[in-house]
């Protein structure tokens, strides 16, 4: 629990920082799992030492969750029982004095719209100049769904950018397709990890869940007017020219050029990544597979060649910034991101688990992380999670 809580808080802080929230917001994440009586994480925080904003959040979270599950009685009974334990007793009393009125906003047709309307000072918006950075942050968050997909959206977006001109896209179409590449797998978070991490073939019910994730992506993006323009394109990344893709079974002229490029880039990027049921393909094998799909009419042949030409430019597809990690530490970091234990990393690298532990501590010290999730996020942001 302590490790999960620390990872949750660290990732939340990093994501919020990248989305442009000020320290007054991001500085509270470290206390999310603190408890009034000191039984939470970290245990050094209790009582009034917990930020007021977090104490309010704790009451609101417990009350709203139990209200949804069991109504007013369940919400009030739970807050009363937890008062002075996990919850600030004064804030719990304030809630209990007028619980019905405080919970009534949850009964509106759209809580989403109600939250936006309640924003103090009006809705906060990301300026156009900050949109790409925000979309990349959200893409990284979606890719954290499994260790197998870390960096996937970044790779697809980079490949799309490099192949756009060769595929015949205008500058405006290229920008839209790159942004759609970042957003295409947001819907993945709506499908269970047990499906994505299954080491063998999926049965029909599991495949139906997988086929839904492009639809989920489209519905998520449709919520934000400024992103709705990318919703249709992003939801087409698993469609195929011959109609064999999903979820729409779109064919031929129904697929704009950007969608064809997105599908080819996504397929090539995925082939070069490990999955629970197979190892990554070497670039030559992935290229041959992509050409077979083009020959069979599943992918657009000219777009496939543009993708492969871009991929053939090698390191230009990903820029790896300078850092202070040794080559061995980078190897350890990549295996950490995949969820390997110290023993498993030791076997893979032919070193002892104790030596692995030393490397991990050195990594944490050099990059300022305190958890595996935080280290993984650091590596992802710097393009270190793929060779």
Output b/e per residue, 132-159; b: 16+ Cβ within 10 A.
Answer: eebbbbbbbbbbbbbbbbbbbbbbbbbb
For residue 320, what are the contacts with CB-CB under 8 A and spacing of at least 6?
382, 383, 384
- Predicted pLDDT at 315: 32
Domain map of the chain by residue range?
2-117, 145-317, 327-381
Nearest to 319 by CA among 239, 385, 383, 250: 383
Contact partners, residue 88, CB within 8 Å, separation at least 6: 36, 50, 55, 58, 59
Give the position of tokens 């009534």.
104
Return the structure tokens found at 193: 């990890």
Alpha-carbon distance 4 to 2, whole Å? Answer: 6
Distance, in Å, from the CA atom of 83 to the CA atom of 63, rounded to the nearest integer, reads 12
CATH topology of domain 327-381: Arc Repressor Mutant, subunit A (1.10.10)
Residue with tokens 């009586």: 37
Q: Which of 167, 191, 164 is nearest to 179 (CA)?
A: 164
Residue 213 to residue 237: CA distance in whole angstroms:
11
Q: Alpha-carbon torsion 165, 167, 173, 176, what sign?
A: negative
CB 266 within 8 A of CB 181: yes
Give the whole-angstrom CA distance, residue 31 versus residue 386.
33
Q: How many helices (H) and strands (E) does the chain have?
A: 19, 0
| Three-state DSSP state, 87 | strand
Of 62, 11, 67, 16, the C-alpha closest to 35 is 62
User: Phi and psi of 33, rounded to 5°?
Assistant: -105, 10
Same fold, 145-317 and 327-381: no
How far is residue 342 from each of residues 2, 50, 144, 237, measured CA to CA in Å?
A: 18, 34, 20, 36
What does the block give as tokens for 159? 């490949």
Tell how far CA 206 is from the center of its chain: 21
For residue 20, the 8-state DSSP code is T
Question: Tens of pLDDT along the chain (387 residues)?
Answer: 777 888 888 889 999 999 989 999 999 999 999 999 999 987 789 999 999 999 999 999 999 999 999 999 999 999 999 999 999 999 999 999 999 999 998 998 888 888 888 888 877 888 889 999 999 999 999 998 898 999 999 999 999 999 999 999 999 999 999 999 999 999 999 999 999 999 999 999 999 999 999 999 999 999 888 899 999 999 999 999 999 999 999 998 899 999 999 999 999 999 999 999 999 999 999 999 999 999 999 999 999 999 999 998 433 334 334 468 888 888 899 888 888 999 999 998 889 999 999 899 989 888 888 888 888 888 888 778 765
Q: What DSSP state is assigned to residue 155?
A: H
- What gap in Å lies between CA 375 and CA 233, rounded to an integer? 32
List phi, psi (to 5°) of 45.
-100, 130
Using CA atoms, how far apart are residues 116 and 302, in angstroms rounded to an integer? Answer: 44
- Which helix (H) or strand (E) segment holds residue 306: the answer is helix 301-311
Among residues 58, 78, 56, the alpha carbon closest in space to that of 67 is found at: 78
Beta bridge partners of 251: 242
Task: State phi, psi for 147 to the nearest 5 degrees.
Answer: -70, -15
334 neighbors 147 (Cβ within 8 angstroms): no
Rounded-to-5 percentages of helix, strand, coil across the chain: 65, 0, 35
Domain range 2-117, CATH class: mainly alpha
Q: Of 45, 18, 21, 17, whose CA–CA distance to 31 is shortest?
A: 45
CATH of 145-317, one of 1.10.357.10, 1.10.1040.10, 1.10.3210.10, 3.40.47.10: 1.10.3210.10
Spatial contact of 269 and 226, defined as CB atoms under 8 Å apart: no
């Amino acid at each position: 629990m302590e490790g999960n809580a620390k990872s949750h808080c660290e990732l939340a802080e990093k994501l919020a920082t990248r989305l442009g929230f000020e320290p007054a917001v991001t500085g509270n994440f470290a206390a999310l799992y603190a408890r009034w009586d000191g039984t939470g994480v970290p245990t050094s925080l209790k009582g009034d030492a917990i930020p007021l904003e977090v104490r309010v959040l704790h009451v609101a979270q417990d009350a709203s969750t139990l209200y949804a599950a069991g109504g007013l009685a369940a919400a009030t009974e739970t807050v009363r029982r937890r008062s002075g334990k996990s919850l600030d007793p004064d804030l719990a009393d304030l809630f209990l004095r007028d619980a019905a009125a405080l919970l009534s906003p949850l009964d509106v047709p759209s809580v989403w719209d109600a939250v936006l309307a309640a924003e103090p000072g009006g809705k906060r918006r990301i300026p156009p100049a900050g949109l790409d950075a925000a979309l990349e942050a959200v893409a990284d968050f979606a890719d954290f769904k499994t260790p197998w997909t870390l960096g996937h959206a970044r790779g697809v977006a980079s490949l799309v950018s490099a192949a756009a001109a060769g595929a015949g896209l205008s500058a405006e179409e290229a920008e839209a397709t790159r942004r759609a590449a970042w957003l295409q797998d947001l819907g993945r978070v709506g499908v269970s990890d047990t499906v994505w991490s299954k080491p063998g073939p999926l049965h029909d019910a599991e495949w139906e869940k997988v086929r839904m994730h492009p639809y989920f992506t489209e519905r998520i993006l449709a919520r934000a007017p400024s992103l709705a323009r990318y919703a249709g394109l992003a939801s087409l990344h698993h469609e195929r020219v011959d109609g064999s893709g999903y979820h729409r079974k779109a064919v031929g002229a129904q697929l704009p050029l950007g969608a064809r490029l997105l599908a080819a880039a996504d397929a090539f990027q995925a082939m070069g990544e490990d999955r629970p049921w197979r190892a990554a393909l070497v670039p030559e094998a992935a290229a041959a597979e992509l050409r077979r799909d083009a020959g069979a009419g599943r992918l657009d042949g000219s777009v496939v060649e543009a993708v492969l030409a871009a991929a053939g430019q090698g390191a230009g597809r990903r820029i790896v910034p300078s850092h202070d990690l040794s080559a061995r530490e980078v190897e350890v970091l990549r295996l950490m991101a995949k969820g390997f234990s110290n023993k498993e990393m030791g076997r893979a690298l032919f070193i002892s688990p104790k030596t692995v532990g030393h490397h991990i501590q050195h990594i944490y010290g050099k990059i300022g992380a305190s958890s595996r999730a935080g280290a993984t996020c650091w590596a992802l942001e710097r393009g270190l999670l793929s060779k």
